[in-house]
């Protein structure tokens, strides 16, 4: 697993990324796996657990999200959880093998008093010996500083798609808003967790441009979640043509090649993937997953099922991302 600085680039161009996507499948997977082995144990996967600490009633209009107050999806709205309940869930996640605990709240932007409560949660989870990650929407400089002071390890804020396609999915927040939040997080010294969603009707060019946006940052995101659209009745994107599984696997492989040292995570949509598809994703360089029965509000493979799959593939759970 020797490092090669020449592989770490921040100057990718559209034509070369599209050429990667167009490579014969076997050639692309071989290249991605070769790059992967330079930086990681090829048979090790980092495991995170995700909890919705505040559910629904979000003012945003993200076309994929059942938590938007604008859509009738039958989702039960829940207020911000108390700290003790969050820590109990974190303890259970740790007992099941998760090394990172992620907390998500359906806000456009949190209030200062809410951030104070989240900081308590972060401190409690860290006391359990777990890495911490939160996703709370947009942040102010002061809120970002409080999260850093509270010991937060990662902040998740996805770009979702390319800047060109973004307005087809979301109109209540700009692409620049997202980039500004990511810059605040990075400037504060918090690790960045940032990726996107595929299967929303975007083109190959859009997928390539999303990865270019991520890989050409001054520092690659430490975690890159690649989500496969989970179609939820009542959301505008319900009924979108399903993405070819091989297109998704290619997305994983190209992400691995472009961001060799990042954890590339299989995130939403794994519940609809066959064991064989997941195995190909791991071969393509994915080395992180979300554990547990729910990803915020959508189904995820149950924990024991994942353990059995890991055993069948000879994969081990890593204890830490550090």
230: helix, strand or coil: coil
Q: Round the CA-based radius of gyration of the chain to a whole number and report it.
A: 18
**What positions carry a catalytic annotation?**
58, 62, 65, 102, 133, 193, 265
On whether the CB atoms of residues 158 and 192 are closer than 8 A, the answer is no
Of the candidates 173, 170, 191, 174, the residue with the CA atom closest to the CA atom of residue 182: 191
Query: Whole-angstrom distance between the N-terminal and C-terminal Cα of the chain?
Result: 15
In Å, how far are 76, 120, 187 from 116, measured between CA atoms?
Answer: 25, 7, 20
What is the crossing angle of helices 112-127 and 83-95, to 10°? 30
On whether the CB atoms of residues 287 and 47 are closer than 8 A, the answer is no
Residues of 130-154 as b/e, b for ≥16 C-beta within 10 angstroms?
bbbbbbbbbbeeebbbbbbebebbb
138/154 Cα distance (integer angstroms): 14
269/272 Cα distance (integer angstroms): 6
168/54 Cα distance (integer angstroms): 26
């Amino acid at each position: 697993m020797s490092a090669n600085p020449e592989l770490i680039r921040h100057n990718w161009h559209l034509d070369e990324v599209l050429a990667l996507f167009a490579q014969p499948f076997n050639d692309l997977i071989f290249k991605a796996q070769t790059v992967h082995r330079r930086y990681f144990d090829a048979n090790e996967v980092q495991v995170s657990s995700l909890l919705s600490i505040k559910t629904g009633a979000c003012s945003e209009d993200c076309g994929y999200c059942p938590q938007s107050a604008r859509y009738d999806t039958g989702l039960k709205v829940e207020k911000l959880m108390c700290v003790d309940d969050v820590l109990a869930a974190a303890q259970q996640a740790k007992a099941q093998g998760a090394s990172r605990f992620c907390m998500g709240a359906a806000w456009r932007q949190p209030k200062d008093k809410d951030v104070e409560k989240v900081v308590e949660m972060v401190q409690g989870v860290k006391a359990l010996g777990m890495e911490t990650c939160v996703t709370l929407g947009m942040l102010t400089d002061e809120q970002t500083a409080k999260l850093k002071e509270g010991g937060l390890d990662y902040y998740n804020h996805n770009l979702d798609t390319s800047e060109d396609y973004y307005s087809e999915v979301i109109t209540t927040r700009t692409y620049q808003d997202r980039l500004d939040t990511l810059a605040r997080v990075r400037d504060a010294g918090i690790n960045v967790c940032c990726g996107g969603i595929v299967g929303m009707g975007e083109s190959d060019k859009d997928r390539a441009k999303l990865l270019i946006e991520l890989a050409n940052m001054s520092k690659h995101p430490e975690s890159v979640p690649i989500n496969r659209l989970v179609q939820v009745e009542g959301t505008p994107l319900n009924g979108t043509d399903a993405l070819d599984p091989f297109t998704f696997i290619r997305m994983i492989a190209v992400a691995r090649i472009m961001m060799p040292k990042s954890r590339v995570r299989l995130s939403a949509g794994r519940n609809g993937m066959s064991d064989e598809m997941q195995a190909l994703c791991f071969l393509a360089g994915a080395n992180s997953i979300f554990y547990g029965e729910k990803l915020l509000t959508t189904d995820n493979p149950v924990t024991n099922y994942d353990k059995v799959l890991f055993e069948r593939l000879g994969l081990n759970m890593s204890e830490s991302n550090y």
